[in-house]
Structure 1
Amino acid sequence: MKIWKRCAGLVLALACCLGLLSGCGQEAAEGMKLSVCVGSAPQELDPIYATDPVDQTILMHLYENLMRTAVDVSGGTTASSGVAKSVQQEENTDGTVTCTFKLRGTKWSDGQAVTASDFVYAWQRLADPANDSPYASLLSVVVGYDTVRSTGDVTALKVSAKNDSTLVVELNGKYDWFLTVVCTAPATLPVRQDVIENWQTKTAEASDQAEEEPAEPWWEDLSGLVTNGPYQVSGETGEALTLTAAQTYSGTQSGPSELTFRYADTPEEAQSLYENKEVDFVAQVTDDQLTKLVEEESPSLIQELGVYTIFFNCQQDQLADPQVRGALALSLD
């Protein structure tokens, strides 16, 4: 039950994100405000480290990737244009595939242009073993990834900026899911090199002074966060994070003009916010609510691809026989 509940929360959080960002050719709803509760306060807003669905949902509202996830007529997901206005994939004679992304003219929230180099830096940073990102393997299909992981030389990764508006990625094979999975993932979002490097400089200076406390993460000052998505931070308290439609965003903006993420550490707290009409949507479901929904057969279930790993202790006598392990694996299917 608890596992089902957690999955439901994940699906709802991501559905909320996709629903708000799905382009329908309209501008942000003038004066419309939406308050949602998808979980507790964000713990990690560095794209290469964010693992919690709540953090990832916030990130996907603040940043925009090469591609965007859209729902097709059959109810499945597909990739649509994000920062990239087009992509051309060419199969090479050696089996590799060259993907050329043409970027549309987009800007960061401080007015600076988003360039192909921003993606090169972000992807190199993700692949760098020194950063120890749990999502580094997303780029394992990119030529040079193994070299980066073994040597630490991020320039070996075959991701390059032909010019400011052209990003070239060389894959080690043909992968139909590259655009829908890798190019829409929170971990591959663009980040500004100057922002990260300025933070690194301040961190180094602080470490030289023994009495200084360790520097906060580079994204800690949410009010000054430089982003390229449909929303930017306009306010933050201990109870909520408020986003407003970014004036620098040039894509289709079909969500509310103001979006507030209210924090709740438990499903009960989230339900209280909803019952008190402080939020319009909650992603957390209490055990009682979930039981009732399941009994009424009213949940709308969304299929998700998941991978489970089972480790067998082969030193145990009863598991030494591979046929026994095979039978056990089948029984757990």
Structure 2
Amino acid sequence: MKNWKRRWALFLTAVLLALSLTGCGGSGEGLALSVCVGGAPEELDPIYATETADQTVLVHLYENLMRKTGDGSGGTTVTNGAAKSVSTEENADGTVTWTFKLRKAEWSDGRAVRAGDFVFAWQRLADPANDSPSASLLSVVAGYDAVRETGDVSLLQVTSEDDSTLVVVLNGKFDWFLTEVCTAPATMPLRQDLLQEETTAADGETAEAAEEPAEAAPWWNDLTGLVTNGPYQVSGYEAGEALTLEASETYRNSLSGPQTLTFRFAETAEAGQDLYDAGEVDFLGILPAEQLTDLIEAESRTLAPELSVQAVVFNCGQDTLMDARVRRALTLTADRSAAAEAAGAAAYA
């Protein structure tokens, strides 16, 4: 068991940036893994979750069109998730149509995963009334600007031809759409019927309760009752202490992760280290500054910096970027000399 945990801990370290704690080759049947990636969940509504700890939980409960996994060599790769196949077509007006054929899959309550679940989730994300901090992810989707101006989410060009076919029209050619937008927690599918039930229940409060206004509990508040389509389901929750996930019986694929995955909560890196020292967790997502210093100074261990590529999406009209002065200003925001110096000669190998 110790060898299994060591293998999984090494894998976790390699793919934490991709948020997923599953995807390593081999069967994890019977394996229980305990990790600490941060504090108790602050937000498990995909369109509002911004903390890494919350997003890490979400990618184990829900499956997007595509998913990021470890590539076996310490990096990450993007593979098909809910999408069985993807095709693109460039249109005469410069737009690009992406067509996703979905796998046969089920939600944890047994209902089929449908293309309409993605349409609902993406419209909800784009809706200005919801004020999602991640809404700009969809700025490359045709109709997004119109939705933001009018509030009419039907203008977003994301449609379902049938239950297994999702069609998305983009304003142009964006290769990163598949790897960044279609893997993001914010664009994961959601069940409109279940969220409507929560809203109806909240609206049905008694008059006495209405006289004492209180902040309504979020729709995901009952964690053990969540209906999800990912590799795990919530099996237990200790408020402020731990969240336990079990392999989903309805997940469409064979699980390549631990059977039981427990997230133990720590509000500080030092508290997480205490959990690790006490043997309560097998992996830490964040190390205390003192611990990092010790690792760097230790003769037997070294920390090597890794290069990565980040993208920044500017939500502005195309006319703005037609101005050469604006484009020049944007290029000046990056200090290329400093980046090259920090990267060193290894970056050119």
- One-letter code aligned to 1:280: D
CA–CA distance in 1 between the matches of 2:220 and 2:43? 8
**Does the CA contact (< 8 Å) of 2:70 and 2:76 recur in 1?**
yes
**Does the CA contact (< 8 Å) of 1:196 and 1:218 recur in 2?**
yes
- One-letter code aligned to 1:259: L
Unaligned ranges ≥5, structure 1: 1-10, 309-325
Q: How does 1:45-194 map to 2 (within 5 A)?
A: 45-72=44-71, 77-194=76-193
CA–CA distance in 1 between the matches of 2:146 and 2:195? 24
Structure 1 position 294, deviation (Å): 2.7
- One-letter code aligned to 1:301: P
Rate the CA distance shift 1:217–1:14 in 2: closer, same or farther, 3 A.
farther
Structure 1 position 53, deviation (Å): 0.2
Q: Does 1:225 align with 2:226?
A: yes
Structure 1 position 295, deviation (Å): 2.8
Q: How does 1:260-275 map to 2 (within 5 A)?
A: 260-275=262-277
Rate the CA distance shift 1:69–1:219 in 2: closer, same or farther, 3 A.
same
For 1:199, what is the secondary structure of its paired residue?
Answer: helix
Cα deviation digits, residues 83-128 of structure 1 (max 9, x gap) = 0010001111111111000000111111111000000000000000
Unaligned ranges ≥5, structure 2: 1-11, 313-330, 340-349
**Does the CA contact (< 8 Å) of 1:47 and 1:187 recur in 2?**
yes
In structure 2, the partner of 1:210 is 211
Rate the CA distance shift 1:91–1:157 in 2: closer, same or farther, 3 A.
same
In structure 1, the partner of 2:305 is 301
Query: RCO greater where, 1 or 2, for CA within 8 Å and sep 6 or more?
Result: 1
CA–CA distance in 1 between the matches of 2:16 and 2:92? 40
- One-letter code aligned to 1:254: S
CA–CA distance in 1 between the matches of 2:36 and 2:128? 35
Structure 1 position 23, deviation (Å): 6.0
CA–CA distance in 2 between the matches of 1:153 and 1:207? 31
CA–CA distance in 2 between the matches of 1:329 and 1:250? 44
**Does the CA contact (< 8 Å) of 1:86 and 1:103 recur in 2?**
yes
Cα deviation digits, residues 131-151 of structure 1 (max 9, x gap) = 000110100111000000000
**Does the CA contact (< 8 Å) of 2:16 and 2:285 recur in 1?**
no
Q: Normalising to structure 1: TM-score of the pair?
A: 0.84
**Does the CA contact (< 8 Å) of 2:19 and 2:52 recur in 1?**
no
For 2:189, what is the secondary structure of its paired residue?
Answer: coil
**Does the CA contact (< 8 Å) of 1:23 and 1:252 recur in 2?**
no
Cα deviation digits, residues 145-176 of structure 1 (max 9, x gap) = 00000000000000000000000000111111
- One-letter code aligned to 1:112: R
Q: Does 1:240 align with 2:239?
A: no
**Does the CA contact (< 8 Å) of 2:20 and 2:60 recur in 1?**
no
In structure 1, the partner of 2:4 is none
CA–CA distance in 2 between the matches of 1:133 and 1:257? 33
Rate the CA distance shift 1:196–1:14 in 2: closer, same or farther, 3 A.
farther
CA–CA distance in 2 between the matches of 1:106 and 1:23? 21
Cα deviation digits, residues 5-41 of structure 1 (max 9, x gap) = xxxxxx95962865532264x55x2211000011110
CA–CA distance in 2 between the matches of 1:231 and 1:327? 45
**Does the CA contact (< 8 Å) of 2:125 and 2:132 recur in 1?**
yes
In structure 2, the partner of 1:34 is 33
CA–CA distance in 1 between the matches of 2:111 and 2:138? 27
**Does the CA contact (< 8 Å) of 2:20 and 2:59 recur in 1?**
no
In structure 2, the partner of 1:255 is 257
Rate the CA distance shift 1:12–1:55 in 2: closer, same or farther, 3 A.
farther
Q: Does 1:43 align with 2:42?
A: yes
Cα deviation digits, residues 259-309 of structure 1 (max 9, x gap) = 00001111111111111111111112112111122334622434344579x
When structure 1 is superposed on structure 2, of 273-282 and 240-249 the one drifting more is 273-282
For 1:206, what is the secondary structure of its paired residue?
Answer: coil
Structure 1 position 204, deviation (Å): 2.0
**Does the CA contact (< 8 Å) of 1:98 and 1:171 recur in 2?**
yes
**Does the CA contact (< 8 Å) of 2:32 and 2:261 recur in 1?**
yes
Q: Normalising to structure 2: TM-score of the pair?
A: 0.81
Structure 1 position 205, deviation (Å): 2.4
Structure 1 position 328, deviation (Å): 9.9
Q: Does 1:21 align with 2:22?
A: yes
CA–CA distance in 2 between the matches of 1:83 and 1:96? 24
**Does the CA contact (< 8 Å) of 1:37 and 1:279 recur in 2?**
yes
CA–CA distance in 2 between the matches of 1:143 and 1:207? 43
